[in-house]
Amino acid sequence: MLFLLPPSETKAIGGGSLTIAQAALTFGGLNPARDKVLAELLRVCKKPALAAQILKLSPKQLGAIDVNLQVCNGPTMRALERYTGTLFDAIEASSLSSSAWLRAKQTVLIQSPLFGLIPATDLIPNYRLSGTTVLPKVALKKVWSAAHAPIFSRLAQGLLVDLRSKTYVDLAPIPDAVPSVWVEVVSRESNGQLRALNHFNKLAKGLLVRAILDAPVAPETIADLAAIAQGIGMELYLDEAKNQLVLVTDQIVKSKRV
């Protein structure tokens, strides 16, 4: 069972001395697409006014242009540590045990708009690029959809649990032949109706991934995953009609509203 996460707009700064070239990303089949996207991003960032427009940068965010220009030589850190924000803050990578890090390496994948699919422990630099960015000469959806299809097919040995946002699902769809299930996060209203969540969506996914990494045994079935979710106060079940997992987060929502 593998778990696929979206990236985050916000990222930690700094890192170790290894560059992206020295670190070598997993899934080398994506390298031609990675090179194409990076080359276009660098081309855009060499024209600051254009970069600010394309990347939708405010005056206070213009430093991101230089960050992008240093991608090839910038310091790197593990992807699960690089990304910050609600989902990744809930995982708390800095406090993971060595065994949890090993499980993250084996089971957690993150889909970057710049680097494509990477394991949680791949070393990456800081960068600024969104899955919704429209680069002038490279269509991210076209490039990444084609590049990821054979990679996803290589991951078909077990169930792929898709925790991505719709933006990244559309950017690199999982082929129908690959066993996968998307996760919908909801809360149960007082009338019994289920309501989809936004902020708590990310929080719940982060807490679930952390619980998976900390579990004594890695989950192999949906029943195993449901038991882990139950252990942190959430309910998880398979909606067979929609072929998606439903994660009910009533206790989280209530505790955060108090």
H or E element in which residue 211 lies: helix 199-214
Euclidean distance between CA atoms 154 and 164, whole angstroms: 19
Place of tokens 């070393």: 123
Residue 188: predicted pLDDT? 75
Q: Which residues contact 253 (CB under 8 A, 6 or more apart)?
A: 187, 197, 200
- pTM of the complete model: 0.93
* Buried b or exposed e, range 49-82, using 16+ CB within 10 angstroms: eebbebbebeeeeeebbebbbebeebbbbbbbbb
Residue 157: predicted pLDDT? 79
DSSP structural state of residue 126:
-
Sites in the chain below the pLDDT cut of 70 = 189-193, 197-199, 251-258
